[in-house]
């Protein structure tokens, strides 16, 4: 009767042994295969490097003194492309053990002296496999949490997007405004050389910067004429309302400063808190420039879109008062030398929202 080899818990762990003495490999092969490990033996350290580069191994058992290169050089090469491989180093004599600094630098998990008996090495292997198993468990938990958090984030994003579209449906004259502010903010951030993380925050912050207008009465939001003082006070509540809406989900923590402070002025005469200068979050100062530019370049029921020359003059007059001077100066340079990029953003959303 044919016997089918039973899978063991150890069979899911792949171990590569690298030693230029074939006798050591043969001896370890007996012990490791007996315990059910997936075993590979290699006598050429250069070949071992290529195998680790192209195949998966959980653990490497590596001789220190070899030809044509020693074990520390093997590890140095492997650590250039694999930081996670669990490595046990073998030494022919305790006086030939690698320096402690080498062990730390290359993240060697353990070493032991070669002997006729493999008791110490087998204990180190068992201990290492337990560590690898724990890391696998942690990795699996992190992957499951990441997947769960991603689903939750998507759910929140969908809900906030619905609110955003509701806001724009209440006021036909601001359709496409959030997308344009988002794109202008990203453009400014790129010209400033900001990190990818900040660029992403500007993008999402621009999309949701006016989400608080969901709490502004329709009659005020869509009023075609000049607002009364009382009506303007209602409008001024929308940054705080938006921040409160987004505060229910930690995924929006980074964009809340944009939502809450994009109407602050550099001279302290803005709202909702009257912050001054660099007390205003940096990304909110960028969004303020983008928001104001789009407001001036958009058609309103009481006026047409302002010509670009007037827009430039308004920015010049308000450098250091309404706007951060450095950001405004850079944006004026964008208008002068890269206006085609701004025009592309305008035309893209004009085409999208035209009736």
Q: Which residues are catalytic?
A: 213
Angle (CA) 229 277 287, round 5°: 70
Sign of CA dihedral 272, 278, 283, 289: positive
Paired sense of beta strands 86-91 and 14-18, if any? unpaired
Residue matched to tokens 């921040």: 243
Grouping H, G, I as helix, E, B as strand and the rest as coil, residue 300 is strand
Q: Is residue 75 within 8 Å of residue 49, measured between CB atoms? A: no
Judging by beta carbons within 10 Å of its beta carbon (0-12, 13-18, 19+), is residue 229 exposed, middle or buried? exposed
165-185 burial code (b ≥16 CB/10 A, e <16): eebbeebeebbbbbbbbbbbb
**Residue 266, CB-side half-sphere exposure with 13 Å CA sphere:** 19
Beta strand 14-18 with 110-113 is: unpaired
Angle at 159 between CA 155 and CA 162, to 5 degrees: 140
CA 94 to chain centre: 46
Distance, in Å, from the CA atom of 219 to the CA atom of 206, rounded to the nearest integer, reads: 24
Dist. CA 28–CA 87, nearest whole Å: 15
């Amino acid at each position: 009767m044919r016997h089918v080899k039973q899978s063991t818990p150890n069979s899911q762990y792949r171990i590569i042994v690298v030693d230029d003495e074939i006798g050591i490999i043969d001896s370890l092969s007996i012990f490791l295969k007996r315990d059910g490990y997936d075993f590979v033996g290699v006598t050429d350290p250069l070949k071992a490097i290529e195998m680790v580069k192209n195949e998966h191994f959980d653990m490497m058992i590596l001789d220190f003194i070899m030809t044509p290169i020693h074990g520390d050089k093997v590890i140095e090469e492997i650590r250039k492309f694999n930081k996670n491989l669990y490595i046990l180093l073998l030494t022919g004599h305790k006086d030939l053990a690698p320096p402690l600094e080498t062990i730390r630098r290359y993240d060697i998990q353990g070493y032991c002296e070669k002997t006729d008996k493999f008791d110490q090495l087998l204990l180190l292997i068992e201990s290492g496999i337990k560590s690898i198993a724990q890391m696998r468990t942690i990795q699996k938990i992190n992957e499951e949490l990441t997947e769960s958090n991603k689903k939750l984030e998507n759910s929140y994003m969908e809900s906030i997007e619905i609110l955003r579209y509701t806001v724009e449906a209440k006021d036909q004259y601001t359709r496409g405004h959030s997308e344009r502010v988002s794109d202008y903010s990203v453009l400014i951030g790129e010209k400033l050389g900001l990190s990818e993380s900040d660029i992403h925050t500007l993008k999402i912050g621009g999309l949701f910067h006016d989400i608080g207008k969901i709490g502004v009465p329709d009659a005020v939001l869509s009023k075609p004429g000049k607002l009364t003082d009382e009506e303007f006070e209602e409008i001024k509540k929308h940054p705080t309302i938006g921040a409160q809406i987004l505060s229910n989900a930690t995924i929006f923590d980074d964009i809340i400063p944009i939502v809450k402070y994009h109407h602050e002025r550099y001279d302290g005469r803005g709202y909702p808190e009257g912050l001054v200068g660099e007390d205003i979050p940096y990304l909110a100062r960028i969004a303020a420039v983008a928001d104001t530019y789009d407001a001036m370049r958009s058609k309103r029921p009481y006026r047409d879109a302002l010509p670009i020359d007037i827009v430039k003059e308004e920015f010049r007059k308000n450098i250091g008062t309404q706007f951060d001077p450095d950001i405004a100066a850079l944006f004026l340079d964008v208008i002068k030398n890269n206006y085609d990029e701004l025009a592309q953003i305008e035309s893209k959303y004009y085409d999208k929202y035209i009736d």
